[in-house]
Amino acid sequence: MHVEPHCTLAELDEMIRVERRPGVARRLTAIRSAALGDTAPDIAEDTGASERAVRGWVERYDAGGPVALVDCLGRGRKGPLGADQQERLKARLRAGPTAGDGVCTLRGQDVRRILADEFGVLRSLAATYDLLHRLGFEPLRPRPRHPKASDEEQEAFKKTPGTRGRGRRRPPG
């Protein structure tokens, strides 16, 4: 295989050494092997890729140099919401639950219902949590406070004797 001399072997070695993305490092390693005269079947066996993939990497490298080996953005399935819908959902979630939600805090199931009712998007619960994570939201950590909770009643409950520590006691021994 012919490899265009975009970089010297020493430069390729350095690029492989400092590359943090494993896929790009693997492609650079394949290019280095091809530059040393290895065949596509040998490189494919060494890198665990197909011969066709190795030939494609060499073609990309020949056409654009090492920059052409980086993965292109925009691949994969698009998300369920557009950019403007994502911003609307973020604003809706930051505002908290409405009276129509009937809850004191929004859980994943509630967000799933909001997606269906207000955005027309049906998602599984796991996909809803993935979406929330991508939007920068984290799972609930503190216990929610009920709107009808009274500080005085809670303090009185804490001071009432016999309400705590009523578990089974171990016999002395």
Residue 164 in this model has a pLDDT that exceeds 70: no
Whether residue 160 is contained in a domain is answered as no
* Whole-number average pLDDT of the chain: 88
Say how many domains are in the chain: 2
Whether residue 26 is contained in a domain is answered as yes
Q: What is the pLDDT of residues 95-114, one digit of tens each?
A: 999 988 888 888 999 999 99
Query: Which residue, 69, 102, 119, sits at the end of a domain?
Result: 69
Q: Tell me the average pLDDT across 150-157.
A: 84
SS3 category, 151: helix
Q: What is the pLDDT of residues 43-70, one digit of tens each?
A: 999 999 999 999 999 999 999 999 999 9
- The answer on 126 and 87 residing in a single domain is yes
Whether residue 118 is contained in a domain is answered as yes
Whether residue 129 is contained in a domain is answered as yes
Dig out the tokens for 150 from the structure. 């009274």
| Crossing angle of helices 125-134 and 108-119, rounded to 10° | 90
Q: What is the rounded distance in angstroms from the CA atom of residue 162 to the CA atom of residue 159?
A: 9
- The answer on 63 and 40 residing in a single domain is yes
In which domain, by residue range, is 119 found?
83-134
- The answer on 87 and 59 residing in a single domain is no
Whether residue 122 is contained in a domain is answered as yes
Whether residue 172 is contained in a domain is answered as no
Whether residue 54 is contained in a domain is answered as yes
Dig out the tokens for 117 from the structure. 């009712």
- The answer on 65 and 14 residing in a single domain is yes
Whether residue 153 is contained in a domain is answered as no
CA dihedral of 46, 49, 55, 56, whole degrees rounded to 10: -140
